[in-house]
Amino acid sequence: MKRVIALLAACALMTSLAACGSPAGSEKNASAPGEAKQLTWWMPPYATVDALDEEIWAPVIQSFEEKNNCKVEFTVIPWEGYEEKYLTSIAGNAGPDVGYMYVEMYPPFITMGAVADVNSYFTQEEKDNFIAWDSGYIMGGQYGVPFASGDPRVILYNKTILDELGEQPPKTWEDLRRIAKAATQDKDGDGNIDQWGYVTSFADSYYGLLPSTYYPFLWQAGGDIYNEAGDEVIIDSPAGKKSLQFLYDLIHVDKVVPPEWSSVTLNDIFVSHFCSGKGAMTMVSSGDACNYLPNYPDLEWGYVTALEDEESWTFAPTDYLTLMSSSSDPQLSVDLIKHVLSKEGIDRLHEFHTQASPRKDVPYLGSPLFEDAYLKDGGKMRTLNATLEGTLVYDYLLKQIQLIMNDQISIDEGLAEAQQYGNQAIADFKSRNQ
């Protein structure tokens, strides 16, 4: 509730600032005559085991500063509390010139006038060069410039374990369940399970866990969180219940999931159980797989892009760079966005990450390990749609799922409460922003 109150308070403050005629251009980065102009750029963590975020972006920032006689203040915003940081900072006229957003963040910021339409800053040739330019067209404007594409959630499997069982890679839910039950074994003969069928976790506190644990199963069952327009929560559905029941049964009925699922984060349990060869299957992002699996050269593994039930989908985000309406120099800020998305910027990022390029003139530079996921199974990938009060709804949904998995509430109760909460939050949002 404290988080909700803080969000609502920040929204109200932003609305009141707009009503008082707050200028579109902020003085936060104003420069004296003759001084180098200053920009602020906010990004989430992209650091790896090999480099810090500042090291990744330093050459790109330096070349932009030299070319434009300016200074760029680069700030890493942790994923935890990411949206709240934007809300409270922008309300206090302390937001960035250029920000990084994912699609579910946009509706409140668009409604409040906090992000700018960048369509007029790009030529048609530049627009045509983006693989998914239209995906940044949200609620009537081009508010997002595609940046991070791909990183699908995939089902990884241990080839050695499946070969021992005489099994092929799973294609359906039934395959996954059958293999997981057979793979869960006491390999050492000491009376304790030391090889698990399916490695997952519901312990993370950030709703970014859901794309790797729940969304793909929900979509495969034919369900969704929101309606297509993004203004109604519809999670309390037969498909919502079916997908949660499947995951619940893996944990509590089949007992094929490591018991640390409720206390250890997905990243840590992935490393400790799957990467170490103690798990038959798991679902993680291709990016996490690329970051960690090379450290385990003896592990023989493969992947399936998406399982099949009623449908066959998996989660693959497209995130964006955004011009904030309070930018002290909108044109220079857009120039920074273009520079980060230039071949120089993309090449630099690909020294550390294997996500697909957002540009058509830059060849596929993702990991060859997951090339088929993009080239053959791209039609099975989808992201979240732009939704009203998405961050509140997804956060509350995660909390409800955690209560369900911990046997504190039933599936019916948990999804009904999530839907009721979400639609009330949407009604309140519409009332505040008529």
CATH number of the domain that residue 253 is part of? 3.40.190.10
Reported as half-sphere exposure (CB side, CA atoms, 13 A), residue 313 has a value of 20
Same domain, residue pair 40 and 109: yes
Same domain, residue pair 288 and 198: yes
For 193-232, the pLDDT digits (tens) are: 999 999 999 999 999 999 999 999 999 999 999 998 889 9
> For the whole model, what pTM was predicted?
0.77
Burial track 207-227 (b if 16+ CB lie within 10 A, e otherwise): bbbbbbbbbbbbbbbbbbbbe
* Residue 32: φ, ψ to 5°: -70, 155
Distances (CA, A) of 146 to 40, 204, 224: 19, 27, 24
Same domain, residue pair 195 and 303: yes
Same domain, residue pair 159 and 115: no
For 367-407, the pLDDT digits (tens) are: 677 877 777 887 898 888 888 898 899 999 999 999 999 99
Same domain, residue pair 323 and 286: no
Same domain, residue pair 166 and 299: yes
Same domain, residue pair 311 and 327: no
Show pLDDT as tens, one digit a residue, over the chain (434 residues): 334 334 433 443 333 333 333 333 444 555 555 578 999 999 998 776 666 888 889 999 999 999 999 999 999 998 888 888 998 998 888 899 999 998 888 988 998 899 999 999 999 999 999 877 888 898 889 999 998 776 889 999 999 999 999 999 999 999 999 999 999 999 999 999 999 999 999 999 999 999 999 999 999 999 999 998 889 999 999 999 999 999 999 999 999 999 999 999 999 999 999 999 999 999 999 888 988 999 999 999 999 999 999 999 999 888 899 999 999 999 999 999 999 999 888 888 877 776 667 888 876 656 677 877 777 887 898 888 888 898 899 999 999 999 999 999 999 999 999 999 999 999 999 998 77
Q: Which domain holds residue 25?
A: 17-148+318-378
For residue 414, being part of any structural domain is answered with: yes
Strands 314-315 and 381-382: what pairing?
parallel
Same domain, residue pair 357 and 215: no
For residue 276, being part of any structural domain is answered with: yes
Domain boundary among 357, 378, 399: 378
For residue 2, being part of any structural domain is answered with: no
For residue 62, being part of any structural domain is answered with: yes
Angle at 232 between CA 101 and CA 406, to 5 degrees: 80
Same domain, residue pair 135 and 167: no
Task: Give the count of domains, the chain.
Answer: 2
Strands 279-285 and 153-158: what pairing?
antiparallel
Same domain, residue pair 132 and 158: no
CA distance 429 to 434: 9
For residue 401, being part of any structural domain is answered with: yes
For residue 231, being part of any structural domain is answered with: yes
Domain boundary among 333, 355, 378: 378
CA distance 285 to 155: 9
Contacting residues for 195 by C-beta, under 8 A, at least 6 apart: 161, 183, 184, 185, 186, 187, 278, 279, 280
For residue 180, being part of any structural domain is answered with: yes
Same domain, residue pair 23 and 139: yes
For residue 365, being part of any structural domain is answered with: yes
CA distance 200 to 257: 7
Distances (CA, A) of 427 to 104, 317, 383, 431: 17, 27, 24, 6
Q: Are 307 and 170 in contact (CB under 8 A)?
A: yes
What count of other Cβ atoms lies within 10 Å of the Cβ of residue 120?
9
Same domain, residue pair 64 and 200: no
CA distance 10 to 88: 6
